[in-house]
Amino acid sequence: MHYIDEGKGDPVVLLHGNPTWGFLYREVIAPLVSSGRRVVVPDMIGFGLSERPTREHAHSLDGHIANLTALMRQLGLERIALVCHDWGGPTGLSFAMSNQALVRALTVMSTWAWPLPPAEFHTRIFPWRMMHAPLVGPYLLGNHCALAGRGVYLSVVDREKFSSNASWAYEAVLPDPATRLLTWVWPRWIPLDENARAFERFEWLERQLSGSKLPTLIIWGREDEVFDPATFSNRFKQLLPHAEGPHLVTGRHFLQEDSGREIADLIRSFLDRLDAEEDGL
């Protein structure tokens, strides 16, 4: 697993989803490091500069949780502030609920933590259920790089800037159908009915999270069409009524591409307030 590890202080771990990688957080890292924090940004197995297994069974939700847990333990991280986006939500929040003594705070952005429905978007025939189809999904997402290419492009606000500065980075690390396996395998772990293989995992996660007292920050892209803010950021607020926010920033689903520096400022301010509370100020 490739990861960035910069700075000193309490660790902030930035988690991405599908089909992105640590590059997504490039405007978030430096402001957090300059505020006196250690920033760790892993590329989940199958993405970015990490190893990309070409066997489907290597890409389960529980497998990704185990990979993240192994990295956190290998680095000996404590007092972790977890920043969870997209699939980084179920992955990071599952780690947090199983290792609460190691976690200091949570930030959730455009993600979810319950079984059904994940989002209205995921009930549509096109594009989502097509990704679950045995032949069409691998053809579109594997052969034609539909998610890492046009999928990310359509999920930012400033598409001209994205095309000029960033789109190459998401396509370059997934250069052929074999390396794109996870882009169509991981979505199949989103529960679409009660018989889904991850249904019980998400039931457990929602139940655990509803009892969490960890300080939490909610940030959302106001233009997000996958997890619309009116529904999903507010559901997190109901699940975690003590949470700060939701703070809405410019952004569709990949809001870091449009508002990276603003997101960094929100996280930095949130953690500064926790520091002050601990110091009794």
pLDDT of residue 276: 94
Domains of the chain, earliest start first = 3-116+198-278 (3.40.50.1820)
Cα separation, 205 vs 208, whole angstroms: 5
Catalytic center residues: 86, 224, 253
Task: Give the model's pLDDT for residue 137.
Answer: 57
Query: Which pLDDT score is estimated for 97?
Result: 98
Strands (DSSP E) found in 65-157: 80-85, 103-109
Whether 246 and 233 have beta carbons less than 8 Å apart is answered as yes
Position 133 scores a pLDDT of: 56
What is the structure's pLDDT at 95? 98
pLDDT at residue 135, as a whole number: 52
Spell out the residues 6+ positions from residue 53 whose beta carbon is closer than 8 angstroms to its own: 45, 46, 59, 181
User: Which pLDDT does position 184 carry in this prediction?
Assistant: 73
- Residue ranges of the chain whose pLDDT lies below 70: 117, 124-149, 281
